A and B are shown apart, each in its own frame.
Chain A
Amino acid sequence: MSVITSASGTEWEIVSGLEVHCELATATKIFCSCANQFGEEPNTNVCPVCLGLPGSLPVLNEKAVEYALRVGEAFHFTVPAQSVFHRKNYFYPDMPKNFQTTQYDEPICEHGWLEVDGVRLGITRAHLEEDTGKSMHMGGAGGRIHGASHSLIDYNRAGVPLLEIVSEPDIRSSEQAAAYVDELRSTLKAIGVSDVKMEEGSLRVDANVSVRRIGDTGFGTRCEIKNLNSLKSLRDAMDHEAARQIEILEDGGEIRQETRLWNENEGHTASMRSKEEAYDYRYFPEPDLVPVQPTDELRAHVRATMPELPAARRTRLMAELSISEQDARTLLSTDGLADFAEAAVVLGAPPRDAALWTTQDVSAHLNVLGGGATVEGLDPGLLVETLQLVSDGLVSRNQGKEVFAAALAGEGRPAQIVADRGLAQVSDSGALGAVVDEVFAANSAAVQEWRDGDDKVRKKKRGFLMGEAMKALKGQGNPQLLNQLIDERLAD
């Protein structure tokens, strides 16, 4: 439970449910064979069907159904024997037919849930629908329709398959909302159905927000907040909206049920339309499509090809690699990072080292390369070999990091880099013994001070002798062996 204490000292909580629109990453659109591709020249991925030209008819993309079933599997949904498309009728110029083909009272997925930080959050439903085109308002201020002289419409996005995932009003704080979306997002990505980029709009979140006094069990009047383009704007908008509602309620006012737009720059929400202005969508069953009846074969195929989900993998990585939840999240936050660590373990690397070197050094390597760099193509064998050199005592841990970075940068195999850079540790006890003898001979005063001194002096003098020996070895002496030899000489 997350408590908001108002200025008057009253304790409140948020009650929220989220509507997440997820663009499915199918090769083609939901009802035609046009490419489903972001960022193309306007109105190039269009045909009579997605332009809604007279006489055209939709044909459902079977891949979109398969992806919806994968979502069903991932979030413990029931997928009924039959789901039905409806027409949602309203006029909007970026919607070519002036109705949206969507699912209504018989969606493809029902009654799912998602666990976030140990709390199970209900998901009411997920349904398939088509996306609309995009309007660009020209000649006005800031691309707004108000004051614009004309509008341009790009229908490339019209007919892109969407899955709308509607949660129960189980969310009690903006942090929990963000964690829900984060978990939803990483799971949708892991099962390969969407690239879930909030900035590009392939994942869009609307938040229904109401507030109530702690202890109350009923629901307050809610507002729907739109235009949330990041997890940060989701958190900020919800917190701001909750504060706005609390202020109204504490002043004795009433919340008006309405749709509000989050203004990222100004940090507040503003009314878009009230309940009274809401459309009557006049839903009725889409007569141009037949009911969706997933076959047993398709269901079995989906079950058989489900990957390990992020939550399960996180738990497994924590156990198998002996790492913290935070480290496991880091491994899973970048594509391929966890795969890299796990591959290194399979090739013989010690699990925890493999995980930590991957989170630190592989991540650092990607950061150096900058945006767009991926784990793809990096050889986990480089990490295995580096860690072997360290454990064999050929290089120190710090040298190992240098070697690994160079290997990732493509300078060669780790052993070769060690040789090229002259980094190999001297681990031959004969050679090291000779150096120690020389150091003791050249610094007999210090040796004597050690013998006469108390613990504090001894520690200092021992460190000095170690430093002299390392200096003579240009830093390449095996520190453990050197320590051992110095201790032996001092004990003589």
Chain B
Amino acid sequence: MNSSAFDIAADVRAGRVSARDVVEQHLATIADREADVHAFNLVMADVARRQADAVDGDVAAGHDPGPLAGVPLALKDNLCTRGVDTTCSSRILQGWKPPYDATVVTRLRDAGAVAIGKTNLDEFAMGSSTENSAFGATRNPRDLSRVPGGSSGGSAAAVAAGFAPLALGSDTGGSIRQPAALCGVVGMKPTYGTVSRYGLIAFASSLDQIGPFATNVRDAALLLETMWGHDPLDSTSIASPLPTLVQGLDDGVRGLRVGIVEELTDVEGIDPEVRAAVSSAARALEDAGASVDRVSVPSTMYGLDAYYLIAPAEASSNLARYDGVRYGLREEGTDIGTMNANTRDRGFGAEVKRRIMLGTYALSAGYYDAYYGQAQRVRTLIVRDFAAAYERFDVLLSPTSPTIAFEAGSKTADPLAMYLSDVCTIPTNLAGHCAISVPFGSDSVHNMPIGVQILGRELADALIFRVARALEVNRGA
């Protein structure tokens, strides 16, 4: 149990372990703890068994099932799976079975991975605690009284609880990295355009990116390396070939220039123990041969404000299709407009409605330029300020989350407090860059994990994996 994805795949490919046994072990772990954690909206036990048997059949027939042979994989429930319920943790999509697979789902299955379930999320990926789910909250496996973070809290919890060695999440403003930090696992947001979004149910299209969860850096690199690359079905997907990630992972950080982002580290609201973890991570990198200095990236201070205009604006349009006409929930009405309104009123939760209204307002005639237009200008400034920082530094360092995992229910009544959970992660999405959260120590009072974030410019994915690996190797207690 608790083997790495790497080891599982190696054993399955060599015939030392059967994929079916691997699946059964993980299903047993799920049976043991899922009732407490509630990581999944759906455990795909039978589908997983069939898929594992197919992998074993390949091995028996002398065919290599691929680099993820027999590795159980948890899928965030906003990734389309053909014939399998895909809900976005929303009543409005309850029971909907997509007629097609997301590109990443196809690619990972072709690489031998075994999809084991669909994980819980904040409805339509809007939230930071996985409490905004129509099907109940997910709890942090490290402490069931606490949240796992969000919105990919189900995926983070699944990996932390040993339900699957690998999981996929989506990251629009920190939805992979923040729950990874809160659950003590590795989570990474790749450069925008490296992973196909085809089949990822959109929240904010210009910010959404699928990324990996794993218990360790190498597994996360393996998962991303297996699924990324150009997809002709996604116009925003990068056409040029992408580098390998696992190879060179242990090349170390000697000579690298690391900058600690002052605006994301020293500001009010960052827990002192989190700040201390960033400092000790910086020292660990120095010890490994990197140079570290502080850097100001001024416009990142406005990232949260810009994000809460751009993301809701895009969401208000992306979520317009849920109208009761073609699929999902329908609440009847006396005419089409009333039917649409009744369906959306009953189908969407409070946070989704709040963001649709925010976004609709931000795009309205007479307000567009002051809100959406201004937010886009801030976005341009953030890109410019990051570019200046990356002239002096190879990678940047900051906390992933301002705090450790908070108590369930502690922020549900205060949306603004909840939104601040993503203050450190949002700038990366606005810039289209990559960033990874890697566990580095835990807090002294509750012994909850702390994550530090390594930020990289566009297409610096391999580099930030290398730095994350160095931290993993050199982390102390």
Contacts and interface: CB of A to CB of B under 8 A. Distances in A.
A433 interface: no
B465 to A, nearest CB: 27
Contact of A91 (B102, B340, B363): B340
Contacts of A57: 197-198, 233-235
A98 interface: yes
Given A98-B323, A280-B365, A284-B372, A55 B317 contact: no
Interface in A46-62: 48, 51-60
Contacts of B93: 54
B4 interface: no
A91 B98 contact: no
A400 to B, nearest CB: 60
A288 B205 contact: yes
A431 interface: no
B314 interface: yes
A93 interface: yes
Contact of A54 (B80, B316, B336, B365): B80
Interface string B201-212: 110111000000
B199 interface: yes
Interface in B179-202: 197-202
Given A48-B100, A55-B201, A89-B317, A288 B323 contact: no
A97 interface: yes
A150 to B, nearest CB: 10
Interface string B35-76: 000000000000000000000000000000000000000000
B320 A89 contact: yes
Contact of B233 (A59, A91, A282, A287): A59
B110 to A, nearest CB: 19
A287 B201 contact: no
A58 B326 CA distance: 19
B235 A93 contact: no
A290 interface: yes
A93 B323 contact: yes
A96 interface: yes
Contact of B98 (A54, A58, A151, A290): A54
Contacts of B86: 54-55
B408 interface: no
Given A54-B201, A91-B320, A98-B321, A284 B235 contact: no
A490 interface: no
B235 A87 contact: no
A304 B455 CA distance: 49
B297 interface: no
A48 B97 CA distance: 12
B205 A97 contact: no
Contacts of B198: 55-57
B232 interface: yes
SS class of chain A's interface: helix, strand, loop or mixed?
loop
A270 interface: no
B298 to A, nearest CB: 26
Contacts of A435: none
A289 interface: yes
B247 interface: no
Nearest to A286: B205
Nearest to B327: A53
B236 interface: yes
A53 B327 CA distance: 9
B316 to A, nearest CB: 8
B144 interface: no
Interface in A274-289: 280, 282-284, 287-289
A282 B360 contact: yes
B320 A96 contact: no
B364 to A, nearest CB: 6
B363 A89 contact: yes
Contacts of B281: none
Contacts of A87: 317
Contacts of B372: 284
A153 interface: yes
B201 A282 contact: no
Contact of A59 (B235, B313, B368): B235
B235 A289 contact: yes
Contacts of A96: 321, 326
A99 B206 CA distance: 17
Contact of B236 (A55, A280, A288): A288
Contacts of A58: 235
A474 B27 CA distance: 104
A284 B360 CA distance: 11
Interface string B391-409: 0000000000000000000
B99 interface: yes
B102 A55 contact: yes
Contacts of B326: 51-52, 96
Given A54-B80, A87-B317, A97-B321, A288 B364 contact: no
A97 B320 contact: yes
A141 B99 CA distance: 37
A60 B320 contact: no
B321 A287 contact: no
Nearest to A97: B321
Contacts of B100: 48, 53, 55-56
Contacts of A55: 78-80, 86, 98, 100, 102, 198-202
A122 B386 CA distance: 46
Nearest to B324: A93
Contacts of A282: 316-317, 360, 363-365, 368
A194 to B, nearest CB: 25
14 contacts: A48-B100, A54-B96, A55-B80, A55-B202, A57-B233, A59-B232, A91-B323, A91-B340, A93-B336, A282-B360, A284-B313, A284-B317, A284-B372, A287-B236
**What are the 6 closest A-B residue pairs judged by CB atoms, nearest first?**
A98-B320, A282-B363, A287-B206, A287-B205, A54-B201, A55-B80
Given A55-B200, A91-B323, A97-B320, 13 more contacts: A55-B79, A55-B86, A55-B198, A58-B235, A59-B232, A59-B234, A91-B320, A96-B326, A282-B317, A284-B372, A287-B204, A289-B235, A290-B235
